[in-house]
Structure formats: C-alpha cells, structure tokens
Amino acid sequence: MSRPINFISAVPVLASLDIERSAEFFASKLGFDKVHVAQGEYGIVSNGPVEIHFWACADRQIAEATGCRIQVQAIEALHAKCVSQAIVHPNGSLASKPWGTKEFAILDPDGNLVTFYAYTDA
C-alpha cells in the first residue's frame, strides 16, 4: 500500500545581482541570519523555519519579475518595522484581502517582491 505524498516545506530562490548585499538586507532589515554567502554564486538566509535562497543573476529585469510570499505572525509589528525602515512597496501597504489574509509587500535591493501575510480570523 502506498503512502500519500505530503509536501513539507517550500524555499524561495530569488535572483540577486549582489549576493552579499541581498544577505545583508535580509539580515539588517528583517533579522535573518546569514547561513551561506558566496558572492557571485549562491546565498542563504534564515529566520526560524523560513529560509530564502539567492542565486547570482546579472539581469535586474529577472529579479524585478520575481517574488515570493512568507507567512508571519504579528504582521502589524513587522509592518511597522518595515515602514520605519522605508522598505514597504509603494503599492504594498498593509491590507486585508478577500482571500482571508492581511498582507503587505516590500522590495529587496534587486527588485524582488516579498509579500508577508497572516491569515485572518474569519
């Protein structure tokens, strides 16, 4: 008898024009730890169970067309922190969405869109 397949985790891999800058942004602005930083090759940051990986990319347009979503708790506190650092996307203010989340978005230094969300009590 075969067991059902259960997916466990997903890790976004974002395009980065500067691996060191990407890792430093997530560390200094959002409290991630730098796990691996190899300039021009690959990078990894983590915060609790969340990891973000970066691959070296020379085309900013690729990063600007890329994004990911990260589920968080205390979204209002995170939003306030991001506002104070002026990293909230101009069109990504904190808002309740009809699909049952409250969310906002930031842009990293390469233009990747990172959306933070929390499920709302329905």
Q: What is the number of domains present in the chain? A: 1
Please report the pLDDT score of residue 121 as a whole number. 76
Q: What is the CATH number of the domain that holds 82?
A: 3.10.180.10
Q: What is the largest CA-CA distance in the chain?
A: 55
pTM of the model: 0.91
Confirm whether 72 is domain-assigned.
yes
Please report the pLDDT score of residue 75 as a whole number. 96
Please report the pLDDT score of residue 2 as a whole number. 78
Give the domain extent around 62: 13-119
Distance CA 28, CA 7 (A): 31
Confirm whether 6 is domain-assigned.
no
Please report the pLDDT score of residue 122 as a whole number. 52
All residue ranges of the chain with pLDDT < 70 are 1, 122
Task: Please list the residues that pair with 117 across neighbouring strands.
Answer: 71, 103
Please report the pLDDT score of residue 83 as a whole number. 96
Distance CA 19, CA 37 (A): 7
